[in-house]
Structure 1
Amino acid sequence: MNKLTKIGLSMAVSASLLAGCAGGQQAEDKTAASGGASKAKAKVTVWHNWTGQDAKAIAMRKILDDFQAQHPEVTLEVEGLPTDGLKTRLRTVAAADEMPDLFVMWPDAMTKEFVKGGLLQPIDEFLNSKPEWKNNFIPNALDGYTVDGKTYSVPMNLAPSSFIYYNQAIFDKYGVKVPKTWDEFKTAIDTFNKNNVTPIALGNKANWVAQSTIFSTIADRVTGTDWFLKAATQNGAKFTDPEFVKSLSMLQDLGNAKAFQEGFNSIDENQMMQLYFQGKAAMFMDGGWALANLVKNAPKEVLDTTHITVLPAIDGGKGSAQMTAGVVGTGMGVSKKLTGANKDAAMQLLYALSGPDGQKATLESSTLVSYKIDLDKTKAHPLFVELNELMKNTKISPVYDSKLSSAAVDVINNGLQELLMGGNPEAIAKKIQDAQAGAIGK
């Protein structure tokens, strides 16, 4: 469904064409005397992943539409792709040095790879020209987009990637309490299974889902963040270490306990959400971004009884219990080839999407932001207020695909699918270790 939507606007017919020659010349003289000048025409290709009917996607597409209406001198060529499709497409065109002008990209690993490939241009000059914008991001928000002291984007949201969304009515019906420990979590899974309720809906067809929304947090609970950062840089830790193998085994144990419905590797996130919306699943695990979908599309009887918590603590683990995996959020990359009027237009659109107004629109779409802006609790949905309050006491650890090389990300995503189908944890750990070590030359 990679449908290219080209939005072209025609310039209004000049009044001088309707007037006589003398009148037209007078109009030109008057414009010149007042210092006016027509804006240079520009064209900008834009790739994004705001393809759904969730509140965030709708809000972002509206910004694109509004920008086009307000800038008739600019032609936007806009293409929307699902998240996994966008990531794949970007890496394909990156290999051919054919990047779009402006595109959604991810911090840390993807940004660094694109900078290393000479595909991006920094935005420091533009960012520094608007200090009230630059200085209003939360601490360290720009770190994932900064390479060798240069900033290549800013986050448009905040993306904690691993929460448990649960239906309190189903919990109450079967006398299950919200789990605070791993044993309580396993007990809840067992109780739901005994009552023919899917414990956790999972849609892992786009195989990043299990890695991002479940495994990254399980692994952090077991190994701790410091271990992962050492393993990612191959400096004092390896993915064949016992603690990482234990993390894999714990995810596999969930699969063996039938925590997820059958066929989870063959359905996508939308189908996963439908299982929850239909009351067939007591829980699903997803990022903070899922709330925009819930608020917009969940049946009222489900939405009204939905609450949010974090994955329970793991006994003996080295990680904090009040952590979720995640990143600061996606940003807009600017192609290094962009110059002149096209570059100016792209920068203005970047500001529309990620400047103060864009951040406000994102927050009002029930999506967290990496920007200092107050939430109006009187207007926000109660579930988003709940998420916002939860985040005040929850820290973010790096989601695995933000720190690993693209080669290692492919291996771990495929490996987790294999693991949940009965694969050997030690063998999968070795594949991940070999991929990461090979990618960074160690």
Structure 2
Amino acid sequence: MPPRRGTMKTSPRALGTAVAVLAIAALTSCGAGGGGEQATGGSVTLSFLTGSDQSTVDTSKALADAFTKANPDIKIEIENQPGGSEGDNIIKTRLSTGEMSDVFWYNSGSLLQALNPAQTMVDLTGDPVLANVQPDYLPVVSQGGKVFGVPATTLTGGGILYNRKVYEKLGLQVPKTWAEFLANNDKIKAADITPVITTFKDTWTSQLFVLADYFNVQAAAPTFAADYTAGKAKFATTPAALGGFQHLADVHAKGYANKGFGSATLDQGLKMLVEGTGAHYPMLSGLLPPLLATYPQTATDVGFFGVPGDDAAKNGATVWEPAAIYIAKTTENLEAAKKFLAFVASPAGADAVTAAVRPSGPYRVKGAKLPEDALQVAKDLQVYIDQGATAPALEFLSPIKGPSLEQITVAVGSGLTPPAEAAAQYDKDVEKQAKQLGLAGW
């Protein structure tokens, strides 16, 4: 995420962050829950297992506080778990032993597959809990045609962060095709400004041109995720999927990258972007909020657009979907748990989060509004959402993501490996993982 959550070496467990071939039988709402509901009129206490990073802690507390204020007969006890693989193992263990909290925070997307939700979570398909959840979000919290979670926070855009002051100074327009993007870069380079910030010291940042290009892949090859997961489609033999590797090669060949890009870090890249010494940075919008304390102009001076493809009529953006909140099948407080999830996935829940955490992206909740002081990148992302011009990153649609992608993309972006060869290397890289997952077709 992102960069898959847990795979990319960055704070957001996503950064990526996340399911295409998902099966298993459905639960029925009446069968969910390990015991009887709390007697009417009594006080109910819900246990809520959530993450430990500051944004997740603040979001969870804001939701719990606002909910209990509106529902004083329901109390929420929050428990924080560590991040990364340690946190994943805790959740898997507690679900498998029947010791999970009533509700819990976890990734959406393909990582959900490992939790066997049909056996461990309450099926929310058709439930009023989902009334305000945007339809585009439902696939990343679904398996076997059943829905299990609601969005816990805002989405993140993966694409091109750009300095709006540079664009204004040079009279540039946001590009809708790759050719227009290259033309903008030529003008930026002529003005002695770095066109494309490149930070290969933090190798994970090299993946964005490939991962954030998925909207264009899906637009050209709508069944790519399913075919890729089934071993039928490959990056090297799918022209649209090869495009992301070609983008990296173009940037290097045209000399758009900053000097010393091989040793430049993410922090240095973000600083260049905000200060306007670099115009474009292929990156995740969710990384911007921490900059506000030092660079308050981040909120207004940095914008976002999706990685441009070849067809302006099919312009859109790749997004990393929000994490979700789920209900454990073992809960004995099903009615209260559903009431909490309905609040989380409501405009009131979004307002509660906005009051505590400044949003860097839109909510996946119908009727949720961004505040006037939302970051510009969030407003830019909202336009794509309103136009229905988004696609989730591939990691939300397929469980396959090879471990060597960041090394492969560094080599392409450094001019060491041709795009076609790199795509073939990545196809080889994912084989071991696909076989470990026991996927058919591999």
Q: TM-score, normalised by structure 2?
A: 0.69
Give the distance between the partners of 1:302 and 1:376, measured in 2 at CA: 17
- Bigger radius of gyration: 1
Deviation (angstroms), 1:368: 0.8
Structure 1 range deviating more: 216-225 or 278-287 = 216-225
Secondary structure of the structure 1 residue equivalent to 2:281:
strand
Secondary structure of the structure 2 residue equivalent to 1:169:
helix
CA deviation digits over 1:121-160, x for unaligned, max 9? 12429x83xx2x4222223432321223432111234535
Q: Which runs of 5+ in 1 are unaligned?
A: 3-34
Give the distance between the partners of 1:281 and 1:92, measured in 2 at CA: 40
Q: CA 1:357–1:199 in structure 2 vs 1: closer, same or farther (change >3 Å)?
A: same
Letter in 2 for 1:331: A
* Structure number with higher helix proportion: 1
Deviation (angstroms), 1:348: 5.8
Letter in 1 for 2:350: Q
Q: CA 1:57–1:387 in structure 2 vs 1: closer, same or farther (change >3 Å)?
A: farther
1:284 aligns to what? 281
Deviation (angstroms), 1:166: 1.9
Give the distance between the partners of 2:434 and 2:277, measured in 1 at CA: 42
2:440 aligns to what? 441
Q: CA 1:267–1:178 in structure 2 vs 1: closer, same or farther (change >3 Å)?
A: same
1:17 aligns to what? none
Structure 1 range deviating more: 144-153 or 352-361 = 352-361
1:357 partnered with 2:353: no
Letter in 1 for 2:116: V
Q: Which runs of 5+ in 2 are unaligned?
A: 1-9, 12-38
Give the distance between the partners of 2:363 and 2:246, measured in 1 at CA: 34
Give the distance between the partners of 1:201 and 1:58, measured in 2 at CA: 31
Deviation (angstroms), 1:331: 0.6
Give the distance between the partners of 2:197 and 2:57, measured in 1 at CA: 23
Q: CA 1:194–1:369 in structure 2 vs 1: closer, same or farther (change >3 Å)?
A: same
Deviation (angstroms), 1:104: 3.3
2:265 aligns to what? 267
Q: TM-score, normalised by structure 1?
A: 0.69
Deviation (angstroms), 1:392: 2.3
Alignment of 1:233-382 (within 5 A): 233-234=229-230, 236-243=232-239, 244-261=241-258, 262-263=260-261, 267-268=265-266, 272-287=269-284, 289=286, 296-297=292-293, 299-301=295-297, 303-314=299-310, 321-336=314-329, 338-340=330-332, 350-362=341-353, 365-366=358-359, 367-373=361-367, 375=369
Residue of structure 1 aligned with 2:390, choices 393, 396, 400: 396
Q: CA 1:287–1:146 in structure 2 vs 1: closer, same or farther (change >3 Å)?
A: same
Secondary structure of the structure 1 residue equivalent to 2:391:
strand
Aligned Cα root-mean-square deviation (Å)? 4.3
Q: CA 1:346–1:431 in structure 2 vs 1: closer, same or farther (change >3 Å)?
A: farther
1:63 partnered with 2:63: yes
1:143 partnered with 2:136: no
Residue of structure 1 aligned with 2:78, choices 70, 73, 76: 76
Deviation (angstroms), 1:431: 2.0
Deviation (angstroms), 1:373: 0.5
CA deviation digits over 1:357-413, x for unaligned, max 9? 22233466433122210537767566644542343235112312112325x343435
Q: CA 1:378–1:248 in structure 2 vs 1: closer, same or farther (change >3 Å)?
A: closer
Asked whether the equivalents of residues 44 and 75 of structure 1 are also in contact (C-alpha less than 8 Å), the reply is yes
Asked whether the equivalents of residues 225 and 398 of structure 1 are also in contact (C-alpha less than 8 Å), the reply is no
